[in-house]
Structures are given as C-alpha cells and as structure tokens.
Amino acid sequence: ILFLNNDLMTDIEQIQKVSNEPTIIRKGHLAEKIIIVDGYPGCGKTLFSPIIASMERVELLNYAFEIEFLCRLFHFNKIDEDATISLIKMFIDHKLYQTMMGRETNFRYSDISSVFNDSNPWRYFKRIFQEGDVIVPDRIKKERPILNLTTHDLLSMSTPIFNALGDRLTFVEVVRHPLYSLIQQTLNMENLTSSPRDIQIYIKHKDSQIPYYAHNWENLFVSSNAIEKSIYTLQKSYELTKKNRLRLMKKYNKQILTIPFEQFVLNPFPFVEKIANLIGSEITPKTKKIMKKQNVPRKKISDGIPLEIYKRCGWEPPEKTLSENGELRKRRDFAIDSGASNQAIDTLDILIEDYENFFKI
C-alpha cells in the first residue's frame, strides 16, 4: 500500500509540475519584413542573397543557424512549440537589433557574407559610430530595414518559422539539379560530417553519433560510403521538403517562392522583380551591378564565378567543349567513379528524372 501511495504521490507531483509550467510568449516585434533564402547545400543560394541585399532597404545576408537548430529540435519533439515560436521571434528581433547597432556584423574580407561583398558596405561602417541602444527601435521604424537571412535545407522543418512570423515572412526556396549538389555534399561527408567543426544537430546511434538527417535510415547511412550518403541524403531531403512544402502552401502559398537555379541564371529578371514585389522593396542600380558580379544572366548554367569557397566545395569551371547535358553526365560519372552502388545510382536517376520533369530542365 505504501508503495502504491508513493507512486500515486509521484504522479500527482508530475501533474502539478506540468500544470505550473508557464506558456512562453512574445508580443510585439522589431522586424517588420524578413526574407529567408533557403536551399540544399550546393544549390547556389549564396548567389541570391547578395542580389537581394542590393534591393532597397534590404540588409546584408545573415546566416540563421540558431533558427535552424530550433526548427530541427522541434521537429524531433525536443522542445515545446510555444518556446520554439517565441525563441524564433526573439532571435529574429535580436539579429535585426544587433545589425542596426553595428554588432555581430561580418567584416571578414573574404567571406561571402562580409560587409565588403555587400552592395552598400558603408552603411555598416557608419553604424559603428552611430548612437545605439534606446534609439534603435525608432531608427528601425524610420528606415524600415528588411532582414535578409540564409538557411540550409530548412523548408522541410520550417513550420515553426511560418507560425512565428506570419505574413511578415517571405521564404525563397532555391532548387537545383541534384547532380550539381553531389560533389559538395560528398566532400562534406568526407571532411566535415562528425568533425567538431560541424556545429549541427546530431543524434545518437548505438555508441556513436550521426547527423540529424539520417534519422529513420540510420543503418543505411552508417553502411554507406561518402557518395552513397550524399545520394540518399538528397533523396530523403527531397521527400521531406516536398511533403512540408505542400502542407505549407495551403496556408502560406503567397509567401513561398520556389526558384530553379537553372531558370534563374539564364533569365533572372522575372524572379528578381517578383522577389522585390513580395518583400515590398525595389530594384536599384546596385542590383544590376551585383547581378553582373554574380555572372547572371549567363549563357551556360554551369558558368559560375571562381570564388575560393566554391572551389573548396568542389566547383570547377565548365569545360568549353561540353554541352549542358555533357556537364550533367560528367557529374553522374563522378558518382559511379566514386563507388556508388547500383541501388544508389538507381536512386539518383529517379531524383534526376523527377527534377527534370517537374522543372522542365
């Protein structure tokens, strides 16, 4: 009887503890407009963010890793919805506040997200010497800045962002032919995954750890080589993203813009105009200069710009003798030469077919 009573008291204490937990909220906001540029590694999303940043009132691109971590933890039921939504609101306002104060701004010269790669770098030097703190909210109201964030493969788990920001958010999803993501993702599997430098959500598998995206296919991930992991990760990401995109479009269809990289680099102007309209901004003369710097429009899809970060991620200049299809075949041959199994190649071919049919590539 005493044992049962003790159990009963424990249950009562747990119920009381839960009932006493507060609901986390945040009312009011600083950021009126937020644009998020998202996409799978190697999709070319870092080409977009500087172009968007050159539009009227749009801020320098800023990576939103904290929000990525939150959404992934929420996806795995590791954090409550009220806390997730409130924290997203807090992180968004904190990023804008710090940016307007001249804090946490990237002045590292060679970085893609550096002030020196912005179309209007002097505004960030100016902010260092401006008054801050209590006058920042008034400056935000006057200048109406648009926060410009970049995320990684987040649309599949982005529901809390839409719930937190509502109609203040414009979400640009950049997609690209799966063969153009293979080399970078394979290099990541070889050199970054499980490294302490990979500051990312990991999950426990037996006595080890694996990346969050291997959830529900842990054994296949562990038994695969680098190129196979790359292919299967592409497949799983594609499936999750498609599922969540369809769900979100029912409510937020006017706030989600999916842009195929291939169409954009050949004819960017309709997309650029649509983005400007969605965020309530305007294209400026600096926009065209940044587009020229990014080599858009271009005659050949693979004719990117030779940045060191792109080279490190496996980018090579296109071969003059190869057609667009030849460039694709070269990347498929890379998968075979890297030791992909027949099963993995079959999976890759299905992804290729789906992408080419859907986006008419």
pLDDT value at position 317?
64
Tokens representing 185 are 């993702």
What letters, b where the CB count within 10 A reaches 16 and e where it falls short, cover 36-72? bbbbbbbbbbbbbbbbbbbbeebbbbbbbeebbbbbb
- Cα–Cα distance between 83 and 24 in angstroms, integer? 5
- Cα–Cα distance between 39 and 181 in angstroms, integer? 11
pLDDT value at position 12?
60
What angle do helix axes 226-252 and 342-359 make, rounded to 10 degrees? 30
Give which of 276, 280, 348 is closest to 54, Cα–Cα: 276
Each residue's pLDDT, cut to its tens digit, for the chain (361 residues) gives: 455 566 665 666 665 556 688 999 999 999 999 999 999 988 888 889 899 999 999 999 999 999 999 999 999 999 999 999 999 999 999 999 999 999 989 898 888 889 998 888 999 999 999 888 899 999 999 999 999 999 999 999 999 999 999 999 999 999 999 999 898 899 889 888 888 888 999 999 999 999 999 999 999 999 999 999 999 999 999 999 999 999 999 999 999 999 999 999 999 999 999 999 999 999 999 999 999 988 999 988 887 665 555 555 555 666 777 888 998 999 999 999 999 999 999 999 999 999 999 887 6
- Cα–Cα distance between 48 and 274 in angstroms, integer? 13
- Cα–Cα distance between 191 and 202 in angstroms, integer? 16
- Residues contacting 281, CB < 8 A, separation 6+: 55, 56, 57, 58, 146
pLDDT value at position 273?
96
Is the peptide bond preceding residue 211 cis, with omega within 30 degrees of 0?
A: no
**Locus of tokens 């800045």:** 145
Contact 301, 324 (CB under 8 A): yes
